[in-house]
Amino acid sequence: MPAVTAIVLVLLFVSSTARGEGCSVGPQVGEPPPERQFDFLLGEHEIALHAWQGDRWSPPRPEGARWRGWLGLGDQAIYDEWHDPHPDQGGSGINVRLYDSDEAAWKMMWVSTRTKQVQDLRAEDRDGVLTMWQVYPSRPGWRAEFTVLSDVQWARTEYLQEDGVWVPRFRLVATRVACD
């Protein structure tokens, strides 16, 4: 699959050359315009991973992951990296997010060291909730919702659909690493 190989090479190039240095100020205050909806990802974040236990979230997994986001393509795209200290469980990966104003939706590519396959993702505002789903490879019955908890914290909650009901599976709670 030459197209997939080219996409992976572009993502690796972006990761190695376009990485933002220094400290990010994070998202802007107030309701962002659509093309800035993912600005809360900017900067360095420590991640606490929780699993749904039927009636509550688990305590965070020890040794949380790191998430790092920065702007690219003349501030039109957001690049973000995931670094998991447990390579057998999550690995590391990179995402490129670009807003398509014609479709009022985010178009994203994700590739990780665990799957080594490019995933085609979409996201849009659904009733005030930034909601993401997977287009390729097809993954019906899966979605993730992003919630800004404060100016230094956000969450990504993953759901699976069971008998027509969206059931939470995992929740990542990201806390911005303070600037030096």
User: Over pLDDT 90: what percentage of the chain?
Assistant: 67
Copy the structure tokens of residue 106: 């985010």
Beta carbons within 8 Å of 66's beta carbon, 6+ residues apart: 44, 45, 46, 47, 82, 83
Average confidence score pLDDT of the chain: 85
Choose among 105, 120, 97, 102: nearest CA to 34.
Answer: 105
**Whole-angstrom distance, CA of residue 161 vs CA of residue 143:** 8
Q: Is the dihedral of CA 29, 109, 12, 118 positive or negative?
A: positive
pLDDT at residue 26, rounded to an integer: 53
Q: Within a domain: residue 37?
A: yes
Q: Within a domain: residue 16?
A: yes
Q: Within a domain: residue 154?
A: yes
Residue 132 has phi, psi (to 5 degrees) of -115, 145
Neighbours of 142 (CB within 10 A): 15
Beta carbons within 8 Å of 3's beta carbon, 6+ residues apart: none
Instruction: Check whether 59 has a pLDDT greater than 70.
Output: yes
Q: Which residue reads 């090479």 in tokens? A: 9
Q: Within a domain: residue 70?
A: yes
**Whole-angstrom distance, CA of residue 19 vs CA of residue 14:** 7
134-156 mean pLDDT:
96
Q: Within a domain: residue 25?
A: no
Q: Within a domain: residue 113?
A: yes
Number of domains observed in the structure of the chain: 1
pLDDT at residue 31, rounded to an integer: 61
Q: Within a domain: residue 110?
A: yes
DSSP string computed for 77-124: EEEEEEE-S-TTTT-EEEEEEEEETTTTEEEEEEEETTT-S-EEEEEE
Q: Domain residues for 71?
A: 2-20+30-176
Q: What is the CATH number of the domain that holds 109?
A: 2.40.128.20
**Whole-angstrom distance, CA of residue 162 vs CA of residue 169:** 11
**Whole-angstrom distance, CA of residue 160 vs CA of residue 113:** 23
Q: Where are the alpha helices (DSSP H) in 42-178?
A: none
| pLDDT per position as a tens digit, 62-95 | 888 999 999 999 999 999 999 988 777 777 999 9
Neighbours of 26 (CB within 10 A): 18
Q: Within a domain: residue 97?
A: yes
| pLDDT per position as a tens digit, 96-111 | 999 999 999 999 999 9
User: Which pTM value belongs to this model?
Assistant: 0.83
